[in-house]
Amino acid sequence: MDRVFRALAALGILSSIAWVFLFQKGELGFRAYGKGSLQYVAARTSPFSLVLSALGIGLLFVLMRNELRIGDFQAAPLWRRYAALLIDFWFVVYVFANLSAMIPLIVEAVRENSFQWHFERDYWLPSDWTLIVLILAAIIAIVAYFVLPLTSRRQTFGGWMLGIATVSSDGSVVSLPLPIAFRFKYWEFSELFSPFSVWGTMKRRDAQRRTPFEREMGLMVVHYSDLAD
């Protein structure tokens, strides 16, 4: 059953990507920006995107309720780690963009007395400044999504799909203090995605495929083949 749910989740991710880049006209979510003397405000979502986002939230709720315990594991290859991180980033941005877009859409519907699934205008209203909070909330949501699972032996959506977990030296799934979890994720992204460090990181991995920072912290990112009973 776990494989079936993973296959359905993969179908959902592919469907969301296809919808955004092939069928949906315009950018996703809420945008507020200046261009020359004009100040643009736009918001967009769709029933299909909201349904997918709601299903994603439901699955994430299930993942957050269940403490992760793994059986056999091995060091995770880099391609699997990259894939999990990219899936995670798309998942959290897609879900938050669609759900948060409903706020400006509803505000605009009240102002216009007519609801539309998208709007775009080249002027700002006083109420638009309060919606800048959505941008700050998006940053906080993305950071929390990646960091909090490390503090409670949970896993992210991408980690679940690709069978990725972070374990300590004794092989147990970690439950890190919040500052340590934040530091670990910061260095993971720095070592794997920064153009200034990624090549050195590749060369300095040890026999267990740990990066320098993972060795320093006594942690390892692994790929598990099954869950512990």
At 54-69, the pLDDT tens digits run 999 999 999 999 899 8
Closest CA to 212 of 187, 189, 177, 195: 187
Closest CA to 92 of 51, 150, 140, 130: 140
Question: Would residue 48 count as lying in a domain?
Answer: yes
Question: Would residue 79 count as lying in a domain?
Answer: yes
55-64, 67-76, 183-192, 195-204: least confidently modelled range: 195-204
Confidence of residue 206 (pLDDT cuts 50, 70, 90): confident
135-139, 174-178, 206-210, 212-216: least confidently modelled range: 206-210
Question: Would residue 216 count as lying in a domain?
Answer: yes
If one compares 178 and 38, the residue with the highest pLDDT of the two is: 178
- Predicted TM-score (pTM) of this structure: 0.88
Question: Would residue 229 count as lying in a domain?
Answer: no
Question: Would residue 31 count as lying in a domain?
Answer: yes
Confidence of residue 10 (pLDDT cuts 50, 70, 90): very high
Is the pLDDT reported for residue 197 higher than 70?
Answer: yes
Confidence of residue 1 (pLDDT cuts 50, 70, 90): low
If one compares 36 and 171, the residue with the highest pLDDT of the two is: 171
* Domain that includes residue 18, residue range: 2-224
Closest CA to 29 of 100, 86, 130: 100
Q: How many domains does the chain have?
A: 1
